[in-house]
Amino acid sequence: MSDCIFCRIARGEIPSGKVYEDEEILAFKDIHPQAPVHVLIVPKKHIATLADATPEDAPVLGRMLELAPRIAKELGAGEGFRTIINTGRHGGQEVYHLHLHILGGQPMPAMLKY
């Protein structure tokens, strides 16, 4: 999608605080960080939501998860971090390009228990 902000960032049209890049994935610092370490990992291929991912997307999704702890450790959140994928309107997704949040760098409050 040519007007998707994350597609534009992945193509280099919009500057970002890039922390990792390869042929399929880009990771960059969130512009509104919620923790000392707050990075987004996005596939360069446009996938609107996790619910839109197909079996063919499984390798890149796996690589995103594999990269998360490496990036967290490199940026100082090696003692613990959260990974979050918001999916759809009711899941809190604001940008409709699949992205994985890494949050860490400080003790994080406990998740609510249901």
CATH number of 37's domain: 3.30.428.10
Is 109 within a domain? no
- Tens-place pLDDT, residues 33-85: 999 999 999 999 999 999 999 999 999 999 999 999 999 999 999 889 999 99
Strands (E), the chain: 18-21, 25-29, 37-43, 81-84, 100-104
State the catalytic residue, choosing from 32, 90, 97, 99. 99
- Whether 38 is a known active-site residue: answer no
Amino acid 113: pLDDT: 39
**Domain range holding 11?**
5-104
Task: Indicate whether 111 belongs to any domain.
Answer: no
* Residue located via tokens 């960059």: 28
Paired tokens of 85: 């994928």
Whether 51 maps to a domain, the answer reads: yes
pLDDT at residue 38, as a whole number: 96
Give me Rg for the CA atoms of the chain.
Answer: 14
pLDDT (tens digit, 9 = 90+) per residue, 12-41? 999 999 999 999 999 999 999 999 999 999
Q: How many domains does the chain have?
A: 1
- Whether 110 is covered by a domain: the verdict is no
Domain assignment present for residue 79? The answer is: yes
Does the pTM of the predicted model rise above 0.75? yes
Structural domain contains residue 112: no
- Residue 95 lies inside a defined structural domain of this protein: yes
